[in-house]
Amino acid sequence: MARTKTRATAATALTPDAVRKAYRDMLLARIIDERQWVLNRAGKAPFVIPCRGHEAAQVGWGSALRDTDFFLPYYRDLGVVVARGYTARQAMLALLGKAEDLTSGGRQMPGHYGWRERNIITGSSPVGTQVLHAVGIAYASRLRGEDSVAATALGEGTTSQGDFHEALNWASIYKLPVLFIVENNEYAISSPQSREMAVQDVSERALGYGIAGATIDGNDYFACHEATFQAAERARRSEGPTLLEFKTYRTVPHSSDDDDRVYRSREEVEDWKQKDPITRMQAHVLAEGILTKQEDEALWREVKAEVDEAITYAEQAPYPKVEDMYRHVYAE
Amino acid sequence: MAVKNLIDGVREAMHEEMARDPRVVLLGEDVGIRGGVFRASEGLVGEFGEARVIDAPLGESGIAGVAIGMALNGLRPIAEMQFADFIHPAFNQIVSEAAKIRYRSNNDFHVPMVIRAPFGGGVHGALYHSQSVEAFFMHVPGLKIVVPSTPADAKGLLKSAIRDEDPVMYFEHKRTYRLVRGEIPDGDFTVPIGKARTVREGKDLSIFAYGLMAVFAEQAALELEKEGVSAEVIDLRTLLPLDREAILSSIGKTHRGLVVYEANRTMGAGAEVAALIAEEALFELDAPVRRLAGPDLPAMPFNTVQEEHFMPNPEKIVHAARELLAS
């Protein structure tokens, strides 16, 4: 599973090329997301689970680790897998349930990522199960004397699951190299954070496990990248797991079947849109001269064209054969 | 070849597989210095160390979930549930994750792990140390389920389970641990998953059973023999996938079938055996298939009289066989 190519850099040491790639990944995730909703409303895609608003957090942690590390994203983490090389074509093939979908051959709902070649571990819909898998993966790596880290993400609502507690407990007892990344967007579908926990910050809970914890501005790509990188380096030095909380906001409903108007005000959503992570990253790359305005406009055109091409490709791609549904229940 | 207890087969299989393959690890509550509450892992921590014989924090979902992660990253974990009765917190990890990972990833990932769990009653275990939970998991494609009833099968099936590329649930009847003695062949051997064992051949009726009930069925057959009744006893050994050929060919021979299990009667393993016979061999039958099972009660009581009433035993099997032959 491990590949030889390795890439991990502190945020402060990121090259202009790396920043440009991060910005492009965030933008690609955003445009894929937007187009998926259009396809859903046009009746072409049954279900969309959005990443919108989380792009800085997701590309931030997805780009801060090594290729030999393990990635256990949750269903919202399109930005994480894009940072690991997942393409617009792949996203659209999964959206439409086509045979060529590399994560599941059209079996899973969109957003249930898994890609062995890139150390992205297959995920499911019951929330929080992957958090324990990260612990077992880290245990296995350490038993073999490898220095890889297992990073897993979840929403703040999932911290209510028993598996979350059991995983933090295991990882802290054995000082395992695990990063627990909570993308806190304030809502578990309609339930606000105050209905999921009595503390202000998820990261406060780290104290109860005797591990490191930190709350980070989840709309700041550089802060998310740096916190992940540093936590991973600590984990590699056998200093134990870290509970990272990236505070962010999903600026659209939970899914294409949700209506967020019943549980939050338009003013609140509008306030968060003003803090949009893409706009913020765009301002950074322009201010730092990493891209000129013209180059930025060209980049947006290029990404949109890439996503349009992906839709055309996925729409024309074949569905799986019916008889193939009987395959891969057990080893063949 | 030496005569040993059934639990020796469990221990020897783990010992030999851990010695043979450094990827094999054991995790569970009290499996280390205590050697497990039944002593199934006695001596293993001393030989293989705490990194491979892991005293897990007390949480069954954690044990199953961590084991899945280990299996996803190149290990061959054996996850021990201290009692099958306590497996329910791990149901989600077993059913939603372990059983579905190969399928949902279109073969990109798989989970080679074993979940061992002592099950069954007749030991004054009361409601929460007597349960037979196998039927819950028989409903889950993606899992395999085995239940040994002899020391040799205990060893050979566990070795097969550890070497299997998919998740295998290994239910060991706690009453058989030291009740059942038998020869274990020397050297490395495996017993294939998916194959039933003909305990004894017969021509008048077929008794299908597993675990302690297979032991009792053999005792009942000896009793029936004194009455001139020739009972064939089939130890199912694997509940998922069921050995359809063995079941149907036995029915083709005896034309009468009795299924014995101590789980609740309704929707238990016996229902599937009976349905299989009804679908595939109805016109072979001289009488309707009968089930002898535990009553449909929430659980097994602690007190002796009610526990005895709950459990099938050789006498009840003999009685059920006589009724079947008379029908």
pLDDT (tens digit per residue) in B127-163: 999 999 999 999 999 999 999 999 999 999 999 999 9
Chain B contact for A104, CB < 8 A?
Answer: yes
CATH classification at residue B121:
3.40.50.970
- Beta-bridge mates of residue B76: B24
B190 lies in a domain? Answer: no
- Taking the C-alpha atoms of residue B107 and residue A327, their distance in angstroms, rounded to an integer, is 9
Using N-to-C axis directions, what is the helix angle for A277-287 and A221-236, rounded to 10°?
Answer: 90
- B4-42 pLDDT, tens digit each: 999 999 999 999 999 999 999 999 999 999 999 999 999
Residue A2 in this model has a pLDDT that exceeds 50: no
Residue A5 in this model has a pLDDT that exceeds 80: no
Contacts of B141 in chain A (CB under 8 A): 329
Residue A50 in this model has a pLDDT that exceeds 90: yes
Residue B303 in this model has a pLDDT that exceeds 90: yes
Interchain proximity A70–B105, CB inside 8 Å: no
- Same domain as B202, residue B175: no
Distances (CA, A) of A127 to A80, A149, A161, A162, A254: 17, 21, 8, 10, 14
Check residue B63 and give its pLDDT: 98
Chain B contact for A238, CB < 8 A?
Answer: no
Check residue B197 and give its pLDDT: 98
Chain A contact for B118, CB < 8 A?
Answer: no
List the single residue in B68, B101, B104 with the smallest CB-CB distance to A136: B68
- Same domain as B159, residue B81: yes
B282 burial via Cβ count (<10 Å: 0-12, 13-18, 19+): exposed
Contacts of B89 in chain A (CB under 8 A): 162
Closest chain A residue by Cα to residue B56: A170
Domain count, chain B: 2
Contact A88, A306 (CB under 8 A): yes
Please enumerate, as own/partner, the contacts of A315-319 that have beta carbons within 8 Å and a separation of 24 or more.
A315/A44, A315/A92, A315/A96, A317/A93, A317/A96, A317/A98, A317/A99, A317/A100, A318/A98, A318/A99, A318/A100, A319/A97, A319/A98, A319/A99, A319/A106
Residue A137 has phi, psi (to 5 degrees) of -65, -45
Q: What is the DSSP letter of B97?
A: I
Interchain proximity B65–A139, CB inside 8 Å: no
- Taking the C-alpha atoms of residue A84 and residue A113, their distance in angstroms, rounded to an integer, is 11
Q: Could you please report the per-residue DSSP string of B213-250?
A: HHHHHHHHHHHHHHTT--EEEEE--EEETT-HHHHHHH
Interchain proximity B57–A169, CB inside 8 Å: yes
B126: left (phi over 0), alpha (psi -120 to 50) or beta: left
Check residue A13 and give its pLDDT: 86
Residue A7 in this model has a pLDDT that exceeds 80: no
Check residue A46 and give its pLDDT: 96
The two three-digit tokens of residue B116, written as one number? 């061992």
Q: Say what percent of chain A tops pLDDT 70.
A: 98
- Taking the C-alpha atoms of residue A316 and residue A239, their distance in angstroms, rounded to an integer, is 50
How many C-beta atoms lie closer than 10 Å to residue A326's C-beta?
8
Q: Say what percent of chain A tops pLDDT 90.
A: 96
First-to-last C-alpha distance (Å) of chain B: 44
Average pLDDT of the segment spanning A317-322: 98
Q: Which of A93, A113, A122 to mutate to test the interface with B (most CBs of B within 10 A)?
A: A122
If you average pLDDT over every residue of chain B, what do you get? Answer: 98
- Same domain as B178, residue B117: yes
Residue A42 in this model has a pLDDT that exceeds 70: yes
Check residue A67 and give its pLDDT: 97
A114 CA to chain B: closest CA distance, Å?
7
Check residue B297 and give its pLDDT: 98
Q: Say what percent of chain B tops pLDDT 70.
A: 100
Closest chain A residue by Cα to residue B76: A140
Element at A215 (helix H, strand E): strand A212-217
Check residue A1 and give its pLDDT: 38
B191 lies in a domain? Answer: no
A107 counts as catalytic: no
Range from A10-19, A110-119, A196-205, B199-208 carrying the lowest mean pLDDT:
A10-19
Q: Which residues of B27-51 are buried (b: 16+ CB within 10 A; e: fewer)?
A: bbbbbbeebbbbebbbebbeebeee
CATH classification at residue B212:
3.40.50.920
> Cis bond leading into B241, ω under 30°?
yes
Cα Rg of chain A (Å, integer): 19
Residue A236 in this model has a pLDDT that exceeds 80: yes
A326 counts as catalytic: no
Residue A8 in this model has a pLDDT that exceeds 80: no
- Same domain as B164, residue B85: yes
Check residue B82 and give its pLDDT: 98
- Same domain as B103, residue B225: no
Check residue A3 and give its pLDDT: 41
Residue B91 in this model has a pLDDT that exceeds 70: yes
Check residue A10 and give its pLDDT: 82
Q: How many residues does chain B have?
A: 327
- B108-121 pLDDT, tens digit each: 999 999 999 999 99
Check residue A4 and give its pLDDT: 41
- Same domain as B68, residue B177: yes
- A247-295 pLDDT, tens digit each: 999 999 999 999 999 999 999 999 999 999 999 999 999 999 999 999 9
User: A15-314 has which fold?
Assistant: Rossmann fold (3.40.50)
Interchain proximity B102–A328, CB inside 8 Å: yes
Interchain proximity A138–B61, CB inside 8 Å: no
- Same domain as B201, residue B180: no
Q: What is the DSSP letter of B129?
A: S
Q: Which of B73, B102, B165, B238 to mutate to test the interface with A (most CBs of A within 10 A)?
A: B73
Contacts of B71 in chain A (CB under 8 A): 136
Residue B291 in this model has a pLDDT that exceeds 70: yes
- Taking the C-alpha atoms of residue A181 and residue A168, their distance in angstroms, rounded to an integer, is 11
Interchain proximity B65–A132, CB inside 8 Å: yes
B99 lies in a domain? Answer: yes
- B38-67 pLDDT, tens digit each: 999 999 999 999 999 999 999 999 999 999
B94 lies in a domain? Answer: yes
A54 counts as catalytic: no
- Same domain as B223, residue B180: no
- A54-109 pLDDT, tens digit each: 999 999 999 999 999 999 999 999 999 999 999 999 999 999 999 999 999 999 99
- Taking the C-alpha atoms of residue B225 and residue B218, their distance in angstroms, rounded to an integer, is 11
ipTM value, please give it. 0.97
Contacts of B103 in chain A (CB under 8 A): 107, 328-329
Distances (CA, A) of A122 to A147, A196, A234, B216: 22, 26, 26, 44
Q: Is A270 helix (H, G, I), strand (E, B) or coil?
A: helix
Given the structure tokens 């101590």, which residue do they identify? B262
Domain ranges, residue B97:
2-184
B180 lies in a domain? Answer: yes
Chain B contact for A287, CB < 8 A?
Answer: no
How many C-beta atoms lie closer than 10 Å to residue B120's C-beta?
29
Check residue A12 and give its pLDDT: 77
B192 lies in a domain? Answer: no
Interchain proximity B74–A144, CB inside 8 Å: yes
Q: What is the DSSP letter of B98?
A: I
- Taking the C-alpha atoms of residue A152 and residue A242, their distance in angstroms, rounded to an integer, is 11
Give the residue ranges of DSSP H helices in A248-318.
Answer: 266-273, 277-287, 293-316
Q: A-B interface: how many C-beta pairs under 8 angstroms?
A: 138
B189 lies in a domain? Answer: no
Sequence ranges of the domains in chain A: 15-314
- Same domain as B205, residue B169: no
Chain A contact for B228, CB < 8 A?
Answer: no
A5 burial via Cβ count (<10 Å: 0-12, 13-18, 19+): exposed
B138 CA to chain A: closest CA distance, Å?
14
Contacts of B145 in chain A (CB under 8 A): none
- Taking the C-alpha atoms of residue A85 and residue A53, their distance in angstroms, rounded to an integer, is 20
B177 lies in a domain? Answer: yes
- The residue among A221, A105, A241 whose CA lies nearest residue A171 is A241
- A135-176 pLDDT, tens digit each: 999 999 999 999 999 999 999 999 999 999 999 999 999 999
Closest chain B residue by Cα to residue A108: B104
Contact A85, A299 (CB under 8 A): no
- Same domain as B159, residue B116: yes
List the single residue in B69, B92, B100 with the smallest CB-CB distance to A137: B69
